[in-house]
Chains A and B, each alone.
Chain A
Amino acid sequence: MSVKSKIFSAMKQIAEEQKVTLPPLEDDLPLNETGFDSLAFAILVARLEDELGIDPFTVAEDAAFPSTLGEFVRAYENVPA
């Protein structure tokens, strides 16, 4: 499974648990329109760290969180595993 599809499936699972309805997952979808609140994102980052063994936001130099889904996925793809 690609990093992208792992991220999407983790998002779908969290959406189910948190009872939020996800819009279609596309690259230019702004993260604040996913229906995820900050808590859901925290859970997502933690689950992905377990699954992929990386947390790009701890490794990153700057403190900015991505603003679209595509940027979020790229943050994971760009980390040397």
Chain B
Amino acid sequence: MRNVLVTGGSRGIGIAIARRLAASGDYNVVAVARRESRELAAAIRQAQRRLHFRACDLAATDAIPVFAKSVRDEFGTIYGLVNNAGIGTDGLLATMHNSEIEALIRLNVLAPIILTKYVARHMMADGLGRIVNISSIVASTGYSGLSVYAASKAAVAGFTRSLAREVGRVGITVNAIAPGFIDTELTRSLNDEGRRRITGRSALRRLPEADDVASMVEYLLGEGGRNITGTVVTVDAGNTA
């Protein structure tokens, strides 16, 4: 059974990914977050020992090397890494507190880069692996109030493309997924009117769901993804089409 690490796996998009991969029967999933949510505890009970929770505050980047090692020591070789944990703090740049800016960059950019470093090194030594980073359509479109978040998600896309070049030779693929607006805790500040506007602007006249992103992750980790690397796949119901 191939081990896959899913960060931010306790709710929203992350838990959809963790659930789907565990249910496929092909993967042993380790969901990472600061706290185990009730939803995740329930999913773990249903997943017949293919889904586990391990706590880690990824914003404490100094602790990441030890955490990566502990997961490897406990579960063995890691085949897949899904960098999904993220925060979506919004606010006008002019009035956003510097500490909020820093926290956003720390969790959305620094944490996945450092975690990837410690996981990918072993993938290199093993000669295979799949890395999927969750970016956002906001990385390449514009949205007032999300400039810092957008910068963090664009960083993820740039990281993805160059790392794919770096580790391709040893059989590791690196891709990003750019979801459109999805209803989760991260986006709860958007009101119904905003939601209607986004839906109306989307080719399919609906919003993508967390499980649509999960399907794409499953695809990229599976046989179908073996020749896909260095790319950003958009899952947005046609919002940016």
Contacts and interface: CB of A to CB of B under 8 A. Distances in A.
Given A55-B65, A58-B65, A50 B122 contact: yes
Q: Is the interface of A mostly helix, strand, loop or mixed?
A: helix
Report which residue of B122, B125, B170 has the largest number of chain A beta carbons within 10 angstroms of its beta carbon: B125
Q: Is the interface of B mostly helix, strand, loop or mixed?
A: helix
Interface string A46-61: 1101100001001000
A39 B121 CA distance: 9
Nearest to B127: A17
B125 A39 contact: no
Nearest to A59: B65
Interface band, chain A:
10 to 19
Contact of A39 (B65, B69, B122, B166): B166
B170 A43 contact: yes
Interface in A28-81: 39, 42-43, 45-47, 49-50, 55, 58
Interface residues of B, number: 11
Interface in B53-71: 65, 69
B124 interface: yes
B119 to A, nearest CB: 10
B169 interface: yes
Contact of A45 (B65, B121, B166, B170): B121
B169 A42 contact: no
Given A55-B65, A58-B65, A42 B122 contact: no
A42 B121 contact: yes
A43 B122 CA distance: 7
Interface in B169-206: 169-170
B124 A43 contact: yes
Nearest to A44: B125
Contacts of A49: 69, 121-122
16 contacts: A17-B127, A39-B124, A39-B166, A39-B167, A39-B170, A42-B121, A43-B121, A43-B124, A43-B170, A46-B124, A46-B125, A49-B121, A50-B122, A50-B125, A55-B65, A58-B65
B122 A46 contact: yes
Given A39-B166, A46-B125, A50-B125, 6 more contacts: A42-B121, A43-B121, A46-B121, A46-B122, A49-B121, A50-B122
A49 to B, nearest CB: 8
Interface string B104-131: 0000000000000000011011010000
Nearest to A45: B121
Given A55-B65, A58-B65, A47 B170 contact: no
B120 to A, nearest CB: 8
Interface in B158-172: 166-167, 169-170
